[in-house]
Amino acid sequence: MLERLSGESKSLDRAASGEELTFNDGLELMRSENIHLLGALADSARQKTVGDSVTFTASYYMNYTNVCAASCQMCAFYRKDGAEDAYTLSPQQIEQRVSIAKDMGATEVHIVGGFHPKLQLDYYEDMMRAIKKKHPELNIKALTAAEIYYLSKLTKNSTKEILSRLKDAGLDSMPGGGAELFHPEIREKIIRGKCTGQQWLDVIEEAHTMGIKSNVTMLYGHIEKPEHVVDHLVKIRQLQKKTGGFITMIPLKFSLDNTELEKEHLVDSECSSVYDLRIMALSRLMLNGVLDNISVYWVAYGKKLAQIALFNGGSDLVGTAFSEEIYRAAGKPTTSSVDELATMVKQIGRHPIQRDTFFKSLKKF
């Protein structure tokens, strides 16, 4: 016990001094009983890095299809082709919805979907060209690295060719989905029919090299172990040092309802709020010095817990999430306005700033 406390103390000391934390440090902090000190250290690191501003964007979430060749155990969104409630939007339907979102104030459109076995590359090119033709000022943040990898296998094109053609068609940046957890030991237990963690990292590195920046996520709160979380954060840090292409890191809380993990009783309840705050704090401390922005996805947390997470290392609220369908499929309320997010920030004594995709300030409240 004394040895355990000694190791934990050294890890906390290194975190307090702003040193780069090792894998073993991360494990010690994941197991630390001093959750309040952990949160305070993360909050201090956040304050030194980005000050007391809290950012968010006006984002429209567009799920172009829910048809997916994969059938991940942690997903409540996917449908098989031919299912009664399966859908696929045409590029014209997508542009029409984007037009409405722009009128609501959206500055970016976040486009993800399933691994549709029949959609070819020209569908995605047409989608992006349709948006850019009528809304050139909107940032198209589209297709996860996992979708790019699947599309390359489906169309027998290299991922580099896919990315190049999509960039020419209007792709500005990429979301961070599909990362889940990189370690193969856990990844194969929570996803099915999706790229490996290393393949995800390889695709996103290729995108960064081509000037396409991205977010990165981490799905937690299901059946993972501490070492899987720390491994994920270390690999994010390693790639960020190499490319500088990650815009923000978004810890994603696993949402239980309607998933295979729930139906098979592998997970009986969602993780605690204390665990949420531990993950938020560890994300800030492990990535300190290489990635400024750690985002709190209020859609998954709820607004009250999201406010507390902003005192545990979080510095960004992601965005308005107009029409977010993936978490809605798991029973979560998903939409807010810019003014509502600004009010959330003001209530905790911070300074709300509406940003663009790349964290350029657009409006102060």
Amino acid 76: pLDDT: 46
Intervals of the chain under pLDDT 50: 1-5, 71-72, 74, 76-77, 324-334
Amino acid 328: pLDDT: 42
Amino acid 362: pLDDT: 97
Amino acid 327: pLDDT: 37
CB atoms within 10 A of CB 3: 7
Amino acid 99: pLDDT: 92
